[in-house]
């Protein structure tokens, strides 16, 4: 089981159809199965996350404000992976609630 508490991530690239890009930084906290965090940078002024994790999958709800002042909400399911050097990439499948859009993206752990 992987604990996300204190881990920092960046998007591996711009998500097609989304606002997150490689300048967006995600900071996670975790207590037992409860996960929460915030993200900002690039096109995102501020984003907030809340959800749960079973150690292999994270299920999150998000809400965000872009640099252009637009708001958006949605959900993502993230598959947790551990790579050879111990870093933890998150493989996301996301869908917007407040606007049309679905996609996939990868968050890479920053050390």
CB-based contact 76:62 (threshold 8 Å): yes
Q: What angle do CA 9, 87, 105 make, to 5 degrees?
A: 45
Q: Supply the pLDDT for residue 90.
A: 97
Q: Does domain 8-110 have CATH number 2.60.40.290?
A: no
pLDDT of residue 16: 75
pLDDT for residue 18: 81
> What pLDDT is stored for residue 13 in this prediction?
86
Q: Where are the domains of the chain?
A: 8-110
Give the model's pLDDT for residue 96: 92
Backbone angles phi, psi at 39, to 5 degrees: -145, 150
Residue 111 is predicted with a pLDDT of 86
Token pair in block for residue 58: 């994270």
Q: CA 62, 17, 54, 25 torsion: positive or negative?
A: negative
Phi, psi of 68 (to 5 degrees): -80, 0
Residue 48: alpha-carbon gap to chain centroid: 9
Whether 9 and 26 have beta carbons less than 8 Å apart is answered as yes
Neighbours of 31 (CB within 10 A): 9
Residues of the chain with pLDDT under 50: none
The candidate with the shortest Cα–Cα distance to 20, out of 59, 62, 81, is 62
Q: What is the pLDDT of residue 8?
A: 98
């Amino acid at each position: 089981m992987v604990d996300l508490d204190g881990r920092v991530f960046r998007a591996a690239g711009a998500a097609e159809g989304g606002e997150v890009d490689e300048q967006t930084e995600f900071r996670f906290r975790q207590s037992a199965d409860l996960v929460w965090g915030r993200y900002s940078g690039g096109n995102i002024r501020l984003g907030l996350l809340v959800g749960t994790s079973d150690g292999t999958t994270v299920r999150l709800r998000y809400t965000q404000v872009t640099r252009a002042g637009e708001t958006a909400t949605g959900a993502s399911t993230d598959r947790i992976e551990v790579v050879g050097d111990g870093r933890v990439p998150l493989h996301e499948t996301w869908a917007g609630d407040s606007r049309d859009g679905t996609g996939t993206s990868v968050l890479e752990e920053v050390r």
